[in-house]
Amino acid sequence: MEKTPSWLRAVEVIFGLISIGVGLLVVSFPGLAVATLILLLAIGLVFLGAREIAFGLAARSVPGWLRGVDIVAGALAFVLSLVVIAFPSVAAATLVLLLYFALFIRGLGLIGLGAGKSWLVAQHRGLSIAMGVLSIILAIIFLVFPGLAVATLILLLAVGITLTGIEVIWAGVTGRRLSSVILGTTSTPSSLKV
């Protein structure tokens, strides 16, 4: 089986560590100003968006439609996060809404990655789908309960970014082993190593 290129694996680990750091910083110091928290979270999503774009561009052995999902999801998360960074004077609720939308798009991208049944090994598919569903659930909480305090919403987003950072590191460390179906070999599923 083929692994993701080592340079991309290193980028995934670095971006994952930055995302975890940002998420943990927000959880550890909730007394920081709301604008600062939102800015830190937006920076974390910028790195996650950049990672998705890099994977979509570099993973030549992944089907085109799946690479497209990664690139589009990463670009949307990246652009929406940059909008939040560029215009911090916008009301906190609007910033949180934009960040949650970016997290929702990221969740769709992860589900798209995991939904490619035979494209990736089962462990990574399951983790990608689970993290995608979690990202979408966190985004929907804001839409269903708009009266929640902004600090609570930011805390939930910090948890989501931290967990997503863990998933990105796992993908980078394991090399996101690709199954033989994607590589065009004839080995049977039982011969695939996880």
Residue 178 dihedral angles phi and psi, to the nearest 5°: -95, 145
CA separation for the pair 168, 162 (Å, rounded)? 10
Task: Please give the Cα distance from 162 to 18 (Å, whole number).
Answer: 9
Domain membership of residue 1 (yes or no) is: no
CA distance 112 to 90: 32
Residue 62 has φ and ψ, to the nearest 5°, of -90, 140
In a domain, 155, yes or no: yes
Q: Does 106 fall in a domain?
A: yes
Q: What local confidence, expressed as pLDDT, does residue 89 receive?
A: 65
Q: Can you give the residue range of the structural domain that contains 102?
A: 6-191
Residue 118 has what pLDDT?
Answer: 65
- Could you tell me the pTM of the whole model? 0.49
Query: What pLDDT score was predicted for residue 133?
Result: 92
From the first residue on, what is the mean pLDDT of each consecutive set of 10 residues in the chain (194 residues)?
75 87 78 69 82 84 83 87 75 68 85 74 83 87 68 73 84 64 42 43
- Domains in the chain: how many in total? 1
Tell me if 175 sits within 8 A of 9, measured CB to CB. yes
